[in-house]
Chains A and B, each alone.
Chain A
């Protein structure tokens, strides 16, 4: 059941909160984090929330495997802007298409672009030069987020959300424009790289958010990410979404009661099934406690805020799960 009712309420509610970051006022939200923490899910839910708030929004995946459209039961979008439901669009950027497109704009000529793109020398350079893929990828992301699009007859978006690769490669994407501006000290590449770099570093235009789990490694990586962004790029991490927090169901005193029941001593000794159930409950309690301590550790080390998101406890996230998360996210947009 789609939860359509809530958006106007929560939209109003978000205005009554202090304007934490006014995330939806940016042009670009860059979602990164360690692998397996739910970046795609959070990016999609953010997109859904923005679309529900009436925005024309695009969720851009990076890499060769698309996941977003599948959650909506649709085939992959590929390198084209596909509206997957009212206001919400999907796109997947890959370096090959991004390079050809860049060449076409650069040379203002399909013929010249074809000549260059088809030349062996350029192919060598383009496919082999490490870093070029990152540069054209982030360049395309920048283009998507512009009010004046370079893509002929393309309409601008209110917001572009990038489902970026895991931390290391995500950082390489953010750094690529600077790298290229440094390599090409003058000339058109330098100019373009400077523009993209400036856009990424403009807090009014771009927000970098991280997704993490309340576990040791992802938390460490998130703390490192915040430091790295500040030291290397002079960027602030906007916020951190702590994903998949389990419900704190069994309280400490209750867990002691369960432990006592396991130990026996009452009138009846527990059946094997009851023992297994106790075991499961105690393990869940243990996990919740571990999550809480990691969340506390994250909050201690983090300069920005950490927003918690619930574990959906469903077999597949799917459309309904995204709706539920979007409703949670709407509180702090």
Chain B
């Protein structure tokens, strides 16, 4: 699975993208976020307030828990500020 980070999430995690292997820990977006929080202080901080983190799966916004597969692209980013 490909994971992308944008804006301040990227800055705080010092990472723009990574590839992780699919496991039960990331079978859906809720599980993935739970697992992310266990990866160290920076991750715990970034995922502490989910009100300010948006999630897209395969370049589409998701609403609610979403099942994930090996080939999925998951992106985490703050509310958008373009325009």
Say if A and B assemble together.
no
List residues of chain A with CB under 8 Å of any chain B CB: none
